[in-house]
Structure 1
Amino acid sequence: MKKSLLIACFMLLSAAAFSQTTVAFHQSNLPFIGVNHQFGEKWIPELRIGTDNYVEDLGFELIGNYMLKSEESTQIYIGAGIRANLLDGAVITSGINYFPFNRKDFGFHIEAAPIISFDEGALFRGSFGIRYRFLKD
């Protein structure tokens, strides 16, 4: 038991050592702000909150993205998650992050994400925007 606990703690600390936090703004007909924290090199859970809505109509999304390709300037990802409040349902994401500047903290992104609502059918959302990574020095 102690050995398993020690291994689990080591794995969590190792993942945290290679992780980074990112904030993003996505512009579309359903715009939103996203905050994520990358664990390791592949997994990026993200919390998203809709903007340009009345407070009672805010949409919330919890997405798990998986990095397919990660280079110095370009990242390609896919993912899935759930959406609550406005257009409750499932979300399937695919996108590209591009960091064109020497310091790879500020960049741009595009994303395609079908929203499959439990009550209102399906909606295909495309978005573009900006992304900022809090890099560790």
Structure 2
Amino acid sequence: MKKTLFLVLFGLFSLPALSQVTVSYHQSNLPFVGVNKQFGERFIPEFRIGTDDFLSSLDLELVANVLITKKESFEFYGGFGGHVGDIDGLVIPLGINIYPFSKKDFGFHMELAPIFGDWNLLRGSFGIRYRFLND
């Protein structure tokens, strides 16, 4: 488990620097942190780790998000992925990213994501997002 987590995180950060890396924190009843790397104009796979868990029982999530609408200060996305841990299942995130400041690296986000599987639940989250922009 620890080796898999290390390999996934190492793989995300060792990809070519031609696209931007983003880190995020989602506050909800199931809070998590995420790391993603945008490929091209629209494809954004994201690896997420539950933050209210003991290290021995982490919740992990991998989603493939696609930007549906992309403006300078606003992004609307949807995706599809899997969630494993205390709750195993299919996750379908739908969310917005807002970058209100002149430098578009720091922003806010809201997401609604049903999780279908062991338990069927609807997770809503909000939080902050930071993009490491290529200058």
User: In the alignment, which residue of structure 1 is the partner of 2:91?
Assistant: 91
Whole-Å separation in 2 of the counterparts to 1:75 and 1:26: 16
- Structure 1 unaligned segments of length 5 or more: list them: 1-14
Q: What's the counterpart of residue 11 of structure 2?
A: none
The CA deviation at 1:16 is 6.0
Please give the TM-score of this superposition, normalised by the length of structure 2: 0.86
State how far apart, in whole Å, the 1-side matches of 2:17 and 2:65 are: 17
Question: 1:29 and 1:54 mapped to 2: Cα distance?
Answer: 16
Q: Distance in 1 between matches of 2:58 and 2:115?
A: 15
Corresponding residue for residue 4 of structure 2: none
The structure 1 segments of at least 4 consecutive aligned residues displaced by more than 2 Å after TM superposition are none
- Post-superposition Cα deviations, 1:43-97, rounded to whole Å, max 9, x if no partner, equal 0000000002112231100000000011110000000100112201100000000
Q: Counterpart in 1 of 2:37?
A: 37
Residues 16, 40 of structure 1: 8 Å contact kept: no
Q: Separation in 2 of the partners of 1:86 and 1:16?
A: 34
Greater Rg over alpha carbons, structure: 1
Aligned match of 1:126: 124
The percentage of aligned residue pairs carrying the same residue is 57
- 1:1-137 aligned at under 5 Å gives the runs 17=18, 19-117=19-117, 119=118, 121-137=119-135
Moved more, 24-33 or 81-90: 81-90
Size of the alignment, in residue pairs? 120
